[in-house]
Structure 1
Amino acid sequence: MRWIAFFLILLNFGVFAWFVGTSTSDKERIRVADKRAEVQVQSIALVNEISPQKLSPVPVAPMSPAKASSTEQLCTLLGPFAEELFGEAIVQRLKSLQVSAVLRDVEMQGQMRYWVFLPPLNSRREAYNRLRELQAQGIDSYVIPKGALADGISFGIFSERSRAESLTGELIEKGIRAQFREEPQTHAERWIVLAPGASDSLAPDFWLQLQQEHPELDRRRNLCAEVSG
């Protein structure tokens, strides 16, 4: 009977120890879970609270490049031709190669000229009256009959700027309100004009052969708008 009582006491101690251990383990697990949750909560932050330097860049698909602004078209010029028949023969040669070309007169800019003049007066009669006054002073001049300076007085056109400036200064000293301006000298030349991009279809051998046959010809490019007929 005594051994049975002693056994029951030991059994009660064992149950008590197991219960205490289980409770402590559960508490530890709960404490660890709470710490993990706390860490996760602390790791959450609003985007506007984070420094821009710490934000990872978001990949953005590259935009397609905008189309380049269209430029004015360029035409190929071949020439000049002193004789029209000679130019037409090469035009036909180009057309046989399915290349669009035409022979036309093109205004070419030459040497710059400097025009000394008196601006247009109110009428043609007033212009001639002023002309007589100038000629009475021994000043060589004439009335400009047409153009933008019609009814003005011309004192001459010079190839050198210095001469135009000198004469203008002399006239101003005499009380004549003369001016001068640049006048590009132009002249017509016969050139073959190829359509934009037409020359690109020709093989390099064609241009080489043409240069060997006609070394005096020049090939250049110009704005189509400036050489259109």
Structure 2
Amino acid sequence: MSMRNLFLLLLVANLALASWLGLRTPPPQLPLTGNSPGLVPIRLVGERAEPVSTPSTVVASPLTSGRALVAASACRRIGVLPDRAAALKLVAALDKVASATRIEADPERERVGFWVLIPPRSTRESAERTLQQVRQSGIQDVWLFRSGELENAISLGLYARMENAEKRRDAIANRGFRAEIRPRYSDRERQWVRVRLNDPDFDLRPLASGVDGVPGNVAISTEACADDLVASRP
């Protein structure tokens, strides 16, 4: 075979091989990710890492917490006070050390003694006759209730202690009259003063006990400052 024919044969063979290789479909190339086994993620110079999200937590600053504690400890409740006059005097004495004061009152029914009495009669005439009979028996210091819830009852005395009332009842019974004991009540208001101090460390005891009408052992308690305790005077 001549050299020319050999060259042509090799050229045709190369062309055929090139065509065959070009017709083959290359295997799909999977994208490389940071999760691919055996691969280490590469970060370019100047590239910033994505921040890792964490649950947010709100933390009160020491200054805010301190103010809250001071505000909570700056209020006091003073009482029970004997009457409103004492409460008003105390408020006046607190004027220079407090930014706000408030008088509070709760109604209270207080037992002040024990009545010894003959129960109410059905009519005024019957009550008058019984009163006359009691006096004729030698029992003194008696009188007739003419109005109220004890109308037409006969009072035989008011006693502070139960044992004294019982003695009086028994003495009346020995004279032939049926008497009974009933508690006597008085309606009044219990008074307190609530105060917001300028200085939460101020000692209120000497000031309060020095006010006329305020007991030396009056209760003073620390309480949370209420929203309704505003800078005002009663």
Q: TM-score, normalised by structure 1?
A: 0.46
Q: TM-score, normalised by structure 2?
A: 0.45
Q: Which has the higher helix share?
A: 1
